[in-house]
Chains A and B, each alone.
Chain A
Amino acid sequence: MARATIPVRVRWLATAALCAVAASGCGKTPEAVFVSSKRTTDMIRPVQSRVEQAVAENFGTPQNLYASLRLPIDYGTAEGVVKEGGGAGSNHFTYEWTKPETAEQLKKVDLTGAAFVWDSGPNTNVTITRQRKDVPAEFQVIGYHPTEQSIELSINVPDNPEPGDKFRVIGFGMQSGRRLYMQHCMHCHGVSGDGNGPTARYLNPLPRDYRLGVFKFTSTSSRDKVSREDLHRIIRNGIPGTYMPSFLLLKDEELKAITEYVRWLAQRGEFESRLNAGLKDYSKPAIDEREKKGESRADVEKELTKAATSKEFIAEFDESIESAFAGLSRDWGRADEASSVIHPKSGRIDPVADAASIERGRKLYLSDKTKCASCHGLGGRGDGPQTTDVQKRSDGSEYDKPGLFDAWDKEIKPRDLTQGIYRGGRRPIDVYRRVYAGIKGTPMPSFNTALKENEIWDIVNYVLSVPYNGKAPPALKEAPVATTASTAEE
């Protein structure tokens, strides 16, 4: 399994937390853990532990993250070469960074705890014996001394590294991402990114559960994942109208580190649900179903347990791990390709020059072609008839309550368009993308096939005019320039 280990150095944090708790006297803080999804815990025991083991072996624990190199994640990597080895059997050597332009920056980063990989030289294929088996050694940086330019490793090298031996240090970006995430986001989004942090229950809408790998406000087409730029933008600007705050004052590199960590959590969650996808037969609901049909529960469980330990099952399961990795790396990789981003070919129709645009948009909004009004209501107040109908799940079963539901099985209201609050951003391109690709994970559908580009612009003009008594913001006169420089420098 290609991966590397990053242990945490949170001891001082834990100590501080303990002192704080001791001072306030409210008991011990629980240690951060990644929790399994309900679908996993619904499996029969042997299957559940197999899934949990697979996730843990590829992603680690909050204290000891694994950086799976097969995922399209920038863990923070530095390349270097050995200047002088410390001798065979020693664990230290002096180095030089390959890219001199990053050397200054790397002086300020704490590399302790990051994974270490030999790319050339005699130590490339070092193995150690573990559980009666030789496995590739996992090197880690345990001491980093940028002034002396020396590195200490967790394992002694059998051969003296030769000058010029190449190596990589991996994972320092993840470490800072995790630290920032635990500080700023965890209390809402949870340690595992399950949207179930300690403050989540006070919020409506709930914090995003990343584990489906689904994000709502993206610039990518409806079949694509969220891009790094989208996440960066959302974290920087917050989501108006919800409790998702703006983290504008964080430094750019901090935002980047958090973005990667969120992507990693999402991929971890999605990895788990991809493994589960093929195992429905082994879940409690499936067993309940069979019991209802008259089979004996004990027999069913026995049969499934036997099946779950068979050679074929294990081979298939191993294959599903491979295909989960392949799928994740393909889908998440594609989201950052320029071709995945929705760019209308022609610019927005100017609602001032073409005054009829808003009216055309209004007609489309009310038409049967779009059915916008069936959700958002005739006046745009989010009170269309679909909000009082009983809706169906994707598997055909009905919800027990009337109203719309999202991919997380939570009730959801179509937006009140008269408020002029756009969670995914108020730029015309944002609203265009919402209509073009729909809002992922919600009932709001994509209209890229039903509507032509100029029709979408007419609708955008109409939507933007609703809060202003029928007048829409003017169209852009000049080409947009890159966003204004506004990163906080302390």
Chain B
Amino acid sequence: MKKFWCLFFIFWPLVAALSFIVAPARGWWFPGPAASPLGSQIDDLFYLILVIVSVTFVLVMAAMGYAVWRASHNTEKSNFTHGSHSLEVIWTIVPAGILLFIALYQLDVWAQYRVKGRFPKGVLTAPIAEVTARQFEWRMRYPAPDRKFANEADVQKWLRQPEPGDLHSVNDLHVPTGTPVLIYLRTQDVQHSFFVPMLRVKQDAVPGLVIPVWFEAINEAKNVNPQLQGVVHEWVCAELCGWGHYKMKARVVSQPAPVFRKYLADLQREELDDGAKGAAPVAVVPGRDADLSVAGKQPVGGQPAVNE
């Protein structure tokens, strides 16, 4: 029985070590490579931490297995000892040191992502859109394509008071690729969370706050959807916000700047459509099935007539 426990404790670090190596290498359970530069840095941090915890886990399990193995030869009755003072000091200081190292080491990435002063230059005054979460959808408000913001106060004014040239869409955020973009995130009701796994962005939308969130999407040629000429990133709500939470699935489409500008122009044309100039196409859905006109001739149906 004692041997069993030794093997048991040795078995797990082996499984762990194997999966720590195989899973990232083969992409199991992973959301795929980051589609943004900051996302790659976040991934690097993730892998660093993964290495630290795997090494620690393997070492601890090995030590445990060894201790049990050694003790299994011991036939004496166990007795109480205080243990080792210096060992306790070591296993307190080493993890504390590791944690401190991680805390300091990630500061830079964290600051780039969260500290306004470290945001890429100019994004704060060139917002792509205001994104408003509500139960259970995301609503976009883009500034008019020719709207330039003089300074942050001007942006704040735009956030407080919608403007007639604004453009709107739902569950479909388009952004230019290859350049940092910024959205202002807010919620109309409860707390939601803006989560685009491929871009490694996650930010809670908090009632009463308007939170700037920036990211940069890099399109990889193999992911480009030819119809949209862009990459479609899955976008979900990551805060359990009510019974329809699962419905808050949307998409972020990153497109080359000219395609993005064309998207906005099309959106504007659609939004200002007055139905008179150039009639909109009438049949989005197939016209009435011509076959149906022969229905009268066609004796289909089997049960007795309605009233005998």
Contact = CB atoms under 8 A, between A and B. Distances in A.
A117 B289 CA distance: 16
Given A69-B298, A336-B283, A476-B273, A249 B171 contact: yes
A486 B228 contact: yes
B170 A237 contact: yes
A481 B266 contact: yes
A483 interface: yes
Contacts of A327: none
Given A228-B283, A473-B164, A482-B280, A243 B244 contact: yes
Contacts of B295: 2, 69-70
A474 B243 contact: no
Nearest to A241: B134
Size class of A's contact patch?
35 or more
B306 A136 contact: no
Contacts of B302: 5, 128, 130, 135-138
A168 B292 CA distance: 12
Interface stretch (A30-38, A380-388, A423-431): A423-431
Contacts, number: 213
B117 interface: no
A344 B275 contact: yes
B301 interface: yes
Interface residues of B, number: 62
Interface in B263-307: 263, 266-267, 269-289, 291-292, 295-296, 298-307
Contact of A487 (B135, B227, B279, B298): B227
Pick the most buried of A5, A248, A467, A489: most chain B CB atoms within 10 A of its CB: A248
Contacts of B301: 1-5, 66, 135-136, 138
Query: In this complex, which of A119, A202, A472, A481 has the most chain B Cβ atoms within 10 angstroms of its Cβ?
Result: A481
Given A1-B305, A237-B170, A486-B172, A427 B251 contact: no
A74 B170 CA distance: 29
B136 to A, nearest CB: 6
Contact of A427 (B139, B266, B273, B279): B273
Nearest to B299: A136
A348 B287 contact: no
**From DSSP, what is the main secondary structure of chain A's interface residues?**
loop
B192 interface: no
Contacts of A469: 161
A161 to B, nearest CB: 17
Contact of A428 (B228, B273, B305): B273
Given A427-B271, A468-B163, A229 B276 contact: no
B293 to A, nearest CB: 10
Q: Would you call the interface of chain B mostly helix, strand, loop, or mixed?
A: loop
A480 interface: yes
A327 to B, nearest CB: 16
B232 interface: yes
Nearest to B307: A314
Contact of A479 (B162, B278, B288, B291): B278
A286 interface: no
A176 interface: no
Contacts of B228: 485-486, 489
A373 B93 CA distance: 74
19 contacts: A2-B295, A4-B301, A57-B303, A72-B288, A73-B289, A74-B285, A75-B289, A77-B291, A115-B300, A347-B276, A348-B274, A427-B273, A428-B275, A429-B276, A474-B164, A480-B280, A481-B269, A485-B228, A488-B251
Given A240-B170, A249-B250, A476-B273, 10 more contacts: A1-B301, A70-B295, A71-B292, A72-B292, A133-B304, A233-B284, A249-B171, A256-B285, A333-B288, A483-B270
By Cβ-Cβ distance, the 10 closest A-B pairs, closest first, are A429-B275, A69-B295, A479-B278, A348-B274, A138-B302, A228-B285, A476-B272, A347-B276, A484-B266, A3-B301
Interface of A: 1-5, 50, 53-54, 57, 66, 69-75, 77, 79, 115, 117, 119, 125, 128, 130-131, 133, 135-138, 168, 199, 202, 228-229, 232-233, 237-238, 240, 243, 245-246, 248-249, 256, 259-260, 314, 317-318, 321, 333, 336, 338, 341-348, 420, 426-429, 432-433, 464-465, 467-469, 471-476, 478-489
